[in-house]
Chain A
Amino acid sequence: MKPRNLLLTSALALACAATVQAETFRLGTNGDLYGLDPHSMTDSFTVSFLNHVYEALVRYDADLKIEPALATSWEQIDETTVRYTLREGIKFHDGQDFSAEDVVASVKRASHEDSPIRGNIAGLVDAKMVDEMTVDLMLDGPNPLLNNFLTNVLIFDSGWLEEHDALDPIDAQKGEEGYTTSNANGTGPFRFESRTPDAQTVLTVNENWWDEPQHNLTRIELNPINSDATRVAAMLSGELDMIFPSPLQDAKRIESTDGMHVLEAPGLRAIMMGINMSDKSNNPNQDGNPLQKVEVRQALVHAISYDLLRDKIMRGKSRNLGGLVAPQVPGFDEGVDAIPAYDPEKAKQMLADAGYPEGFSFNMNCPNDRYVNDAAICQALAAMFARVGVKADLTAETKAIHFERARANETDMFMLGWATLPMLDGYSVLSAMLHTPGGQMGTWNPGGYSNAEVDRLTQAVATELDAEKRHEMMVEAFRIADEEVAWLPLHAQPLSWAARDAVKIPQTADDKPRLWLARIE
């Protein structure tokens, strides 16, 4: 190597070293964390951000496949017991060693009866320490989704919890502040530094992280900016490295700015319409309930122009869905996903054959602040139904009221989005939305769809450990639901992030930025 080149190379190396030393990632989001305790709330953004500080036994990689994290391996010992071998040599940020004791304490804390996230590890009966680095989880039955659930059960240091009187989850009713709400001590790639609610949360890199870092960040600044316009302005003015979500309507403006780009892809969240299947319509002008008839629901599918919804309302960014789950979710099937042709004439004919030549009326309810363009989608749907003579009385309301009404079956058709998270599996849809309501099942099936075969398949899927058999059963259940139009699927909601060109980050379909995979170049 010539001396000149050597000089250049060393200068480059120096420059690289310098940039490696101070890469701050400034992230802008549309809301703040609810707090620092991942066991105290179910808000998926909060938990996913806290995942930079706290880790779980297993985690999803960028392709949403399960990979080992704090546990290195696991085996099914018998039908109801799974044994986890833990990773050696991990330290918490405060220097304590990670061991089986921490896993037992954390799992018990998350499944405590006062814990709001106990539903995330339903079926867990007990956790036992076998030795220093081995833990057994006991379940009430075979559970093929245990690892999926565990990705969301983040692990605390038991000694730290005990020291701060936080072994039990925070009880909102006690009226006292939990130590874990404002302090954090995990094993993750970043350690918690400071937080001012609604203003900024700062993490710094954990030099002693057990994993080989893919990232080159030294510091993360989370800046919540609730107003869409301000968030975009802060991105454009160079005050942020990435915003998430980036409003769809501003995509062009950001793309046309030098040095930044929009990351867009259809995500996991399926947007769909729930249908009242009881004997009575909620619309005062309608006798009986036409939507109860399969033929009527099938006719309505032909009345919806999926392409128009995608191109006009979603600006071409969504993915049309014929089934109830997005392609990334186990249980997806191309046959089920096929969308019947848009044919209003055929729809009219089918309605006439079903006994409604003059059409009918029903109530439709939508949120106006929950999903991307939610109210606009419903307006378009109402117009499409009107073309085949069906009158939808549309009400668009704020989410807290919308979901309360929908849950009480006070409407005939309502909008719901379902990402299947944290389960990331079709069983989430089968158990919550398609199974006949009762007990733990059908919690989001207020319309009362009921099919004995779907129920049977759902129960079988719940405990089937053979992946292939399980998949076939799920597809079969989805096929029946599709044929009977148990729900009206619309599309997979697009993810929209925007970042500086220097930022390299995989856009994961679950809409959770993983900054430990991000680089600033």
Chain B
Amino acid sequence: MFAFLIRRIIQAALVMLVVASIAFLMFRFLGDPISNLLPEDATVQDRAEMREKMGLNDPVLVQYGRFIVDAAQGDFGQSYRNNRPVSDLLAERFPATAELVLVAASLALALGIPLGIYTALNPRGWLSQGLQVVSLLGISVPTFVTGILLILVFSVTLGWLPSFGRGTVVDLGWWTTGFLTTSGLKALILPAIMLALFQMTLIMRLVRAEMLEVLRADYIKFAKARGIPNRMLHFKYALKNTLIPVMTIFGLQLGGLIAFAIITETVFQWPGMGFLFIQAVNFTDVPVMAAYLVLVSFIFVVINTLVDLLYNVADPRLRAERTPARGV
């Protein structure tokens, strides 16, 4: 277990180093940050001085090295655009993204799993058929279209929900939350639905497919023959075995939700990390982009580690297989 964690930490460090280096290579093609920092009619000399001051004249490798050394000490530098430390900016934006993702993920699980079970148990029912069609739409329509449609219906036409922003948030000092105010909760609904829709349909279809597979397995047939009631059969024996692959996929998707809430945040002007990143790209704000990408890769590694640990808990066979495998 301990060795496993150590291995993972080393892996995480490697992944982050690689991401940072790819990021730095990419940034060279994003254009010149100076053009956003000085007035349009700044002189050539002003520009040169600014470049020198910001260390942009150094070779990419030197800039990369400087970034790594500082980042290792927790210093991600200063945002060009906001004139503030990048770590402050990210910390300030993280709660917005975290709450949005939390609600979206809960929504996806809370709806996706029961719907998946229902469609698996009643494969020929008209409701199941209908859900299947709708879920196809949910998977194939691009999320920004869903978002705009939601705004059009619920904000512009019906006027029920706000079309942008996070509403009133309560500042707890280390965290800002929209859960405690009516406007905050109302503001969460549309973006959460937009972000959850794809995940929900994915989970529903996955649960359905897995469940159908498991229901055909021999042990279910035997259990049925033994006269175990359907209810117990479905929810105790079948569902448990269904959920292992669902867990894997969901773990991967959760990282994706955090990292790629970007589109939802852009459509709804949600002041989260993804939105910060998009603005940084538009402004060629290199420190923010680099820190964001490194942070996201870190989140991915953490989530995948957690999922692997959960496997060990959920599936006894994995625990048993590990020891001999290492001896070989």
Contacts and interface: CB of A to CB of B under 8 A. Distances in A.
8 contacts: A34-B83, A119-B43, A177-B88, A224-B269, A238-B159, A400-B32, A403-B31, A431-B41
Nearest to A438: B44
Contact of A197 (B169, B271, B278): B271
A89 to B, nearest CB: 34
A225 B164 contact: yes
Contact of B271 (A198, A231, A369): A198
B250 interface: no
Nearest to A420: B41
Contacts of A440: 43
Chain A, interface size: which category? 35 or more
A428 B38 contact: no
A384 to B, nearest CB: 27
Contacts of A37: 83
Interface string A218-255: 00000111110111011011110000000000000000
Contact of B39 (A119, A182, A407): A119
Task: Choose among B42, B83, B267 the residue with the greatest number of A CB atoms under 10 Å from its CB.
Answer: B83
B33 A116 contact: no
B78 interface: yes
Interface in A396-410: 398-404, 407
B156 A237 contact: yes
Interface residues of B, number: 54
Contact of A196 (B30, B46, B151, B271): B271
Task: Choose among B45, B156, B163, B276 the residue with the greatest number of A CB atoms under 10 Å from its CB.
Answer: B163
Interface in A4-54: 31, 34-35, 37, 40-42
Contacts of B163: 230, 233-234, 237, 239
A237 B81 CA distance: 31
Contact of A403 (B35, B92, B266): B35
Contact of A172 (B41, B83, B148): B83
A2 B152 CA distance: 51
Given A35-B82, A177-B85, A226 B77 contact: no
Contact of B30 (A400, A418, A432): A400
A439 interface: yes
Contacts of A119: 38-39, 41-43, 46
A42 B38 contact: yes
B304 interface: no
B40 A444 contact: yes
A95 interface: no
B294 to A, nearest CB: 17
Contact of A181 (B42, B83, B267): B83
B88 A444 contact: no
B83 A173 contact: no
A176 interface: yes
Task: Choose among B31, B40, B279 the residue with the greatest number of A CB atoms under 10 Å from its CB.
Answer: B40
Interface of B: 29-33, 35-46, 53-54, 75, 77-78, 80-85, 88-89, 92, 148, 151-152, 155-156, 159, 162-166, 169, 266-269, 271, 275-276, 278-279, 282, 284
Nearest to B158: A237
A361 to B, nearest CB: 26
Interface in A185-205: 196-200
Contacts of A198: 269, 271, 275-276, 279
B38 A236 contact: no
Nearest to A398: B31
Contacts of B38: 42, 116, 119
A117 interface: yes
Task: Choose among B32, B38, B84 the residue with the greatest number of A CB atoms under 10 Å from its CB.
Answer: B84
Nearest to A441: B43
B75 to A, nearest CB: 7
Nearest to B34: A404
B267 A230 contact: yes
A284 interface: no
Given A42-B37, A233-B163, 4 more contacts: A31-B279, A42-B39, A239-B162, A401-B31
Interface in A96-122: 116-117, 119-120
A117 B39 contact: yes
Contact of A234 (B80, B155, B276, B284): B155
B165 A226 contact: no
A272 interface: no
B39 A227 contact: no
A443 interface: yes
A177 B83 contact: yes
List the 4 shortest-distance A-B pairs measured between CB atoms, nearest first. Answer: A400-B31, A401-B31, A199-B271, A432-B41
A266 interface: no
